[in-house]
């Protein structure tokens, strides 16, 4: 009975600790006026939606964002027969942030890469590559959001 009471008390105390989401749009001090996506594929659209989701319409600072998404799969190593045995996925996002008067504030390139062994099962290989791309795109998106939230 004593343990249950202590557990209940700890739950109530820790439950009201003031948790707020880090990237909530209500607390951001900027508005994204325009997102210019120079490449139109599923991955770049995901990044575009992520950038738009952090915009706060009631802010004083206003930005225009332009980015170009590029992705490559490069053969790193081949076996004796000439078949690829090791690949690398490169993802690059070239980001330009401008103020509402078109003055360049930041120009930054985000690069992520991941090396992996080629599998013989083509279906599993495509699924594995898809998972790797999603993970790398999430990392780049988080980095972009962090950069935007730290602009003074």
Alpha helices in 28-150, H assignment, sequence order: 42-53, 122-149
Model confidence over 31-51: pLDDT tens digits? Answer: 888 999 998 889 999 999 988
Burial grade of 114 (CB within 10 A; 0-12, 13-18, 19 or more): middle
Confidence category of residue 25, pLDDT binned at 50, 70, 90: very low
- Whether 84 shows a pLDDT value over 50: the answer reads yes
Confidence category of residue 123, pLDDT binned at 50, 70, 90: very high
- Whether 63 shows a pLDDT value over 70: the answer reads yes
Spatial separation of the C-alpha atoms in residues 23 and 51, rounded to whole Å = 11
Delineate the domains of the chain, giving CATH numbers in brackets: 2-149 (3.30.160.150)
Task: Tell me the mean pLDDT in the region 66-85.
Answer: 93
- Which candidate, 48, 38, 104, places its Cα nearest to that of 70? 38
pTM of the full structure: 0.77
């Amino acid at each position: 009975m004593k343990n249950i009471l202590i557990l209940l008390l700890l739950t109530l105390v820790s439950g009201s600790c003031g948790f707020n989401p880090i990237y909530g749009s209500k607390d951001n001090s900027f508005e994204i006026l325009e997102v210019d996506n120079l490449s139109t594929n599923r991955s770049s659209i995901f990044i575009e939606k992520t950038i738009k989701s952090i915009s706060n319409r009631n802010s004083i600072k206003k930005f225009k964002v332009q980015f170009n998404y590029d992705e490559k799969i490069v053969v790193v190593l081949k076996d004796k027969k000439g078949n690829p045995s090791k690949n690398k996925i490169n993802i690059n996002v070239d980001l330009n942030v401008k103020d509402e008067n078109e003055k360049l504030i930041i120009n930054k390139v985000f690069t992520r890469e991941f090396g992996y062994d080629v599998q013989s099962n083509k279906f599993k290989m495509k699924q594995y590559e898809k998972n790797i791309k999603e993970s790398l795109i999430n990392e780049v998106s988080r980095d972009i959001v962090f950069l935007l939230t730290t602009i003074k």
